[in-house]
Amino acid sequence: MILILNCGSSKVPYIEEMVDEFCGFTTIPILDFSIERLTEFDGVIISGAPVLITEQNISEHLKKVEWIKNTSIPVLGICFGHQLIGLTFGAFGSRMKEDRDWQTIEAFEDSILFQKLPQEFEMMEDHCETISIPQNFKLIASSDACVNEAMQHNELPLFGIQFHPEVSGNLGRIIIENFVNFCLNRSN
């Protein structure tokens, strides 16, 4: 069972639709989430949000994901979720040129997220901010528009992607499938 933490993105139904192809899920608004429920799930996906980390106070959101510092449960952050993971581990956010189109992503590190994908693949973007690479994370993919398109923690099962696989067709579906399979295989 996958927990989808809804940060307010209009794309959450697309995440739900993709996850539903592979296993059950529960969606909870992030600010309503209680850590006591975490043990019910095999993995967590943190959605995007219509929130600017460089302009708005996101301290409540950050409090709701503090647990990721010590988790053994796999977590995938998408866009704002990716930024939350990074900020929790000391990354800093910055503005960049608005990107609301397809980008060619280049994966240059092995990752469970990119299994069955070519080294370069196109994904839909929807952001105007980026984050630095936090300590103990490795950069696993970039684009010409954004350096930190994807990162993963060196020890914990934490993954962040700046792009939106949930609206990127079959290649995006592969990323969600890879993450869900990783979660389910760990819990068996």
- Which sequence positions are flagged as catalytic? 79, 164, 166
What backbone torsions phi and psi does residue 43 show, to the nearest 5 degrees?
-170, 165
Are the beta carbons of 156 and 170 closer than 8 angstroms? no
- Name the token pair of 141: 């993919």
Quick check: 139 and 148 in contact, CB under 8 A? yes
Q: Is 122 exposed, middle or buried (0-12, 13-18, 19+ CB in 10 A)?
A: middle
First CA to last CA distance, the chain? 12
Helix (H, G, I), strand (E, B) or coil at 137: strand
Alpha-carbon distance of 164 to 169, in angstroms, equals 10
